[in-house]
Amino acid sequence: MQETKDNIKPSNKDLKYSSDEFVKMDLNISGMEKIKIIKKEGVPFKEDDVIAKYLLKGEKDIKFIKSPIYGWIVKYEEDDKTLILEKCKHEMFYIHLCTKCGYKKTENDELKAYGFTNKEFFFSKEKAESLEKTKVQDYLTSKKLILLLDLDNTILHCSSVSISSEQIKFLDGKYSTYISKIPIKNYVTNRYETILIKFRPFLRTFLKNIKNKFEIFVYTQATKEYATGVIQYVNTNFVKDILSTTRMIPRILDENGIAENKSIKNVFPTQEKMILIIDDNMEVWKESGNNFIGIYPYRFFSEREKITNKLIFINNFEKNYTKDSFYKIEHDNVLFCITNLLLNVHRKFFAFYEKNQITKSISRITNDTLKLILLRKKFYYYLNFDKSDLFIKKNKKKKEKDNDNNENKKEINDKEINKELDNNKINEEKKENNNEQINKINEDKNNEIKNNTKNLLKFKIQKLGGELIEEEKDMFDADYILTDFYDLNDETFKNIENHKEKKIPILHSHYIEICSMYYYAVKTEDFLLTEQNNYLKFLDLNKVFEKNKVDIIKFYKNDEFVDEN
C-alpha cells in the first residue's frame, strides 16, 4: 500500500484539498482485488484507527489501512482510489481530550479557557480568538461593555455565623427589610443552610442603571453553590435576570486546593479592551491591574462573630435599631458613585467608537476620567508621627507587640548583663550599645511606616489626577496642605504656621480618602481646619454625601442616571 500525505502534490482537480488541513491517500495498491472503506464520511477517528480494509489477489488474509492523522474522511474517489482526509484542528477540549476526535492534549498545545465557569473546557488559541472577536463584535453592536463583578465585600456582606430557627424568627420582624436570609447548599454536607446577607446600599440603583450597558460576569472566590444562591436571590428581589449562572466564575482551586488568583484570561483570554473589574481586593487581580476599579470594602456584620460564634452587628445595630438610626449607621454610598463612573466611561467608549470605528482601551478611558477628579491640584502632606492619630491608630497593635518583645528582650538582656557583669565579661559601654541598637530598629520601623503611609496617599492623589509635593521647601506651591492633626493649635503644628501668609487651606487627610472612595472631589468644607474650627474625628458621611450627591451626577454628565434606592 502506498500512502500519500501532505508532501504529495495533488492534481489540478484536487486543488481545494491542497492545504495543510488535508491529507490525500493513494489507495491504488498493486495486486489489490477489492477494498472497503470502513469509516463514514465526516465521522471523526484517531490516529492509527483502521479506516479501510482490502484483499490482495490470491490471498485470504485481510489487510488494514490505518489513519495517519486525527480527523475524518472528506471524500473517496472510487475511480482512482483516492481518499481525502481532513485534519482535526483540535479547537475544543474537555479536560484533556479533544471533543471532536479524542486527541489527548500535550504540554506543547497552546490552549485557552474561554467564558466558562470552570477550567474543564479549553479552546485552541485560534478558536478562542475567533470566538472572542465574534462576541466582541456582538457587544459593540448592542453597545455593551463587559463587567467582572465580585460579590463579597463588594456588593454584599455575608454573616459567617450559622443561623438558628430562633434567630430567623427574630430577624423576620424589624430587620427583614434590610437583611436577607438566603438558603445556600453546603457543598460538603449537600444540605441547605440559611445564611444572612446584607446587600450594599444602592445595589438596585447600580444594577438597573448598568443593565443595558454592561454584560455582567460574576467573578468570586466563593463556592459555586454560594454564588448560585446569591445570583438567584438578586434576580428575584433586585433586578430580574440581571445576573446569570452561565456568566459566573466561582472559586478555582489549584492542585493544592488553594484558591487561584482571578484573571481576565479565564473569561476572555485575548480581548481586554472592553473589560472592567469591580472588586474590593486588588491583590487577587495581579495580572489585570489596568482594568481594575477598586471599591472600598463593605462590612455590616462584626468580625467578632467569627470568634464568639454569635450574631453581632456593627455599632450594636441589634440594640439601637430604629429606622432613623439605621440610616445613620448605614452610610455607605459607594455604589451610587461607582454607577455614575461606569455610565460616564460607557458613554465615552462608544462615542469614540462611533466616531472612529475602532475601539479605545476602556482602562485608558477610565484612567483619563479619574484624572479629571483632582485635575492637577497640588497637595503637601504634613505628618508628625509622634502625635499623629493615624500613626497611633495604625501602629497600636504593632507597638504593643514591639513593647512586649522589647520587654522580653530587656528582661533577657538584663539577666545576661547581670550575669556577665558578675563574671566581669561586660561593661556599661556594651549595655549602652545594645540600647542604641534597639532604638535604631524602632526608628527604622517608624520610618518605614511613615514612607508607606505617604506613598499610599501619593498613589491615591496621582490616580485622581493630583500631585503630591514631596519637598518641604516647595510646600507653599501647594493648593492644599494635608495633615492628620485634628487641632491646629497643637504645638507641633507651628512648623507650618506660615501657611497664613500664603493663605493655603489646611485639610485633614481624610479628604483624599473620601475622594478615593466616592471617585469625586467632594467639597472641602467638612475637612477644613482653622484655628476656630477643629476637624471632627467622627465624620458624618451621610451629610458629606448629601452635599455632593447632585454634583457627582453633574460631574459625570449622567442625565440618564436614575436613583432607584
pLDDT band at 496 (very low <50, low <70, confident <90, very high): low
Long-range contacts of 161-167 (CB under 8 A, 24+ apart): 161/196, 161/301, 161/305, 161/306, 161/309, 161/310, 161/311, 162/193, 162/195, 163/193, 163/194, 163/195, 163/196, 163/311, 167/311
User: Over the stretch 8-54, which tens digit does the pLDDT of each residue have?
Assistant: 333 334 434 556 789 989 898 888 888 999 999 999 999 999 999 99
Q: Is the pLDDT of residue 105 over 60?
A: yes
pLDDT band at 390 (very low <50, low <70, confident <90, very high): very low
14: left (phi over 0), alpha (psi -120 to 50) or beta: alpha
Q: Span 97-114, mean pLDDT?
A: 82
Considering only residues 335 and 198, tell me which one the structure prediction assigns the higher pLDDT: 335
pLDDT band at 549 (very low <50, low <70, confident <90, very high): very high
How far apart (Å, rounded) are the C-alpha atoms in residues 323 and 299?
Answer: 19
Q: In this structure, what C-alpha cell is assigned to residue 484?
A: 492628620
How far apart (Å, rounded) are the C-alpha atoms in residues 509 and 531?
Answer: 17
Please, what's the largest Cα pairwise distance for the chain?
117
User: Over the stretch 302-319, which tens digit does the pLDDT of each residue have?
Assistant: 665 555 555 554 444 444
User: Over the stretch 357-379, which tens digit does the pLDDT of each residue have?
Assistant: 999 999 999 999 999 999 999 99
- Burial (0-12, 13-18, 19+ Cβ within 10 Å), 20: exposed
Average pLDDT taken over every residue of the chain = 79
Q: Is the pLDDT of residue 454 over 80?
A: yes
How far apart (Å, rounded) are the C-alpha atoms in residues 184 and 225?
Answer: 6
pLDDT computed for residue 150 by the predictor? 97
467 bridge partner residues: 378
pLDDT computed for residue 332 by the predictor? 86
pLDDT band at 93 (very low <50, low <70, confident <90, very high): confident
Closest listed residue to residue 235, CA positions, set 249, 224, 245, 223:
245
Give the predicted TM-score (pTM) of the model: 0.75
pLDDT band at 414 (very low <50, low <70, confident <90, very high): low
- Dihedral sign from CA coordinates of 271, 273, 278, 283: positive
How far apart (Å, rounded) are the C-alpha atoms in residues 551 and 370?
Answer: 15
Q: Span 223-238, mean pLDDT?
A: 93
pLDDT computed for residue 388 by the predictor? 43
What size, in residues, is the chain? 565
Q: Is the pLDDT of residue 76 over 50?
A: yes
User: Over the stretch 518-539, which tens digit does the pLDDT of each residue have?
Assistant: 999 999 988 888 766 666 666 7
